[in-house]
Amino acid sequence: GCDYQLNIGKTTTKYKDNYYVTVDLLCPSGKDVEIHKYVGMNNELEPECKYTIKEQKGLKGAKVTNETDAGGKTTGTFTLETGPENIAASKSGMCGAEDTKVGKLDVNITFKGTDKDGKANNIEITDS
């Protein structure tokens, strides 16, 4: 029941087509994300531990990039190359019972714009 919201910010100082992204994990009241780890890879009958991730906002560490052609012109797509880091979670079970902030979401998503008929509709991230 939770959703991820990407918030695109300013360009990075090193590359003008790279933009910092913060991520909000938004959850309905009473909902959260649970990740279950099991003793064996093929055995979901013996849980080893559980990570519970509650709603959080402003997670940093992600970056999105405009894709450009050889001439430096945008191709109308952009890619989210990395995910946020330092996600807070509570763990329980054989992994220990404590809070941690070492979570990281690994993502690699490419966005392409299309119109209502499915034809290419270039998209680009800009500062304006």
User: For residue 25, what pLDDT band results from cuts at 50, 70 and 90?
Assistant: very high
pLDDT of residue 26: 95
Q: Residue 53 pLDDT > 70, yes or no?
A: yes
CA distance readout (Å), 98 to 31, 44, 57, 93, 115: 20, 23, 21, 10, 48
Q: What is the pLDDT of residue 84?
A: 84
pLDDT of residue 70: 87
The pLDDT, as a whole number, for residue 128 is: 56
> Dmax of the chain from CA atoms?
55
